[in-house]
Structure 1
Amino acid sequence: MTPIVWRSAQPGDEESLSLLGQATFLATFAFDHPGPALIRFLKELHSPEFYAAKLADPDVDIIIGETPLGAPVAYAMLCPPEHSDFQRDGDWELKRIYLLGPWQGGGNGAALLQHAIDIAHKRQARRLLLAVYENNDRAIGFYRKHGFAKIGDTIFMVDDVEFSDMLLARDMTM
């Protein structure tokens, strides 16, 4: 397996993040998300413009993983939480954590998650939140293994189609 080189994403990485976000989301969710809504969602919320705005926002941290030749294979994005019904002071959200299939396993997901946890610690987060699709059993098991527990349910919109997500949290004070 080609090793992953981790770094903070910078302005200029928006094309890589866009392609990676689109590829991983499509590969993961095409089996049960309606095609037209999925394509519209990817064009809007995984566009280079979306990532350029996130990279310019001082409240957003993005870690990117690349092959030694610079091909993007993973990223995670942390930001202030968007789940007002569940959030507390000191919460941060792991808004996106994506890893291309061939790099899953072998500790790469755990390494990416650890980078995100390290960023949350630097942000002095008391809790790290994340939403995960309720039918993504593999991801749910991974997050539970790494200290996340369910705190509620939320809706995730893919264009105009609703999907049920579980909202998980990990205590960062331990």
Structure 2
Amino acid sequence: MTDWRLRRASPEDAPAVALVAQASFLETFAGVLAGVDILAHLAAKSSPARFDAWSRDPASVLTLAEHASGHSPIGYSLLTPPEEVGETRVGDIELRRIYTLSRMQGTGLGPALMARAVADARALGATRMLLGVFAGNARARAFYERHGFAVVAERRFKVGVTWCDDFVYARNL
């Protein structure tokens, strides 16, 4: 039995998803990026208003992972039309985010979120999934590679005022 459940997020879930987004990004990048850049990035990219908009967008799928006991938010995934991933083609979708709190790593939650994202992407008619990942995040890169993704491009991505090197990954669906 798992200690979590997955469900489609609603606009009312936007604050909870934003909290997980902010906590997991901070956990991952504290000590890697400047704190001021992390805070600026989170304010711009992971606000409740952004998640509210994505949850209402019929071209996007926001999935919330909740702990089985008490239904606390512990992870999420977000599919959107592609943005900032370089050259795209008809049938592409972007896995914009797939985050879990660190204490949930190793529980199978990440693979479950990935399987759900792939199923949801196919249901939307997507034929290829793209995502961007910080080049220095070896753990995330290994996760994506285990799930059939391969690097197709590189990009520069701004976090706060700092430019970061990212890889763009793709996987056929």
Q: CA deviation at 1:83?
A: 3.7
Q: CA deviation at 1:47?
A: 1.2
* Native 8 Å contact 1:73 1:100 kept in 2: yes
Alignment: residue pair count: 172
CA RMSD across the alignment: 1.4
Moved over 6 A (4+): none
**Counterparts of residues 11-50 of structure 1 (less than 5 Å):** 11-50=11-50
* DSSP-derived class of the 1:124 partner: coil
**Counterparts of residues 1-150 of structure 1 (less than 5 Å):** 3-68=3-68, 69-83=70-84, 85-150=86-151
Relative to the length of structure 1, the TM-score reads 0.94
The worse-fitting range, judged by mean Cα deviation, of 25-34 and 52-61 is 52-61
The worse-fitting range, judged by mean Cα deviation, of 42-51 and 59-68 is 42-51
Q: Deviations over 1:7-54 (max 9, x none)?
A: 000010011011110000000011211111111111221111111121
Unpaired runs of at least 5, structure 2: none
* Native 8 Å contact 2:64 2:73 kept in 1: yes
Q: 1:45 to 1:83 in 2, by over 3 A?
A: closer
Cα distance between partner residues in 2 of 1:56 and 1:89: 22
Q: Deviations over 1:112-150 (max 9, x none)?
A: 110100111101111000111100111111111110000
Cα distance between partner residues in 1 of 2:149 and 2:72: 30
* Native 8 Å contact 1:86 1:151 kept in 2: no
Q: CA deviation at 1:106?
A: 2.9
* Native 8 Å contact 1:81 1:91 kept in 2: yes
Which amino acid counterpart does residue 139 of structure 2 have in structure 1?
R
Cα distance between partner residues in 2 of 1:31 and 1:57: 34
Which amino acid counterpart does residue 18 of structure 2 have in structure 1?
S
* DSSP-derived class of the 1:13 partner: helix
Q: Deviations over 1:81-123 (max 9, x none)?
A: 1146321110000000001111111322111110100111101
* DSSP-derived class of the 1:82 partner: coil
Unpaired runs of at least 5, structure 1: none
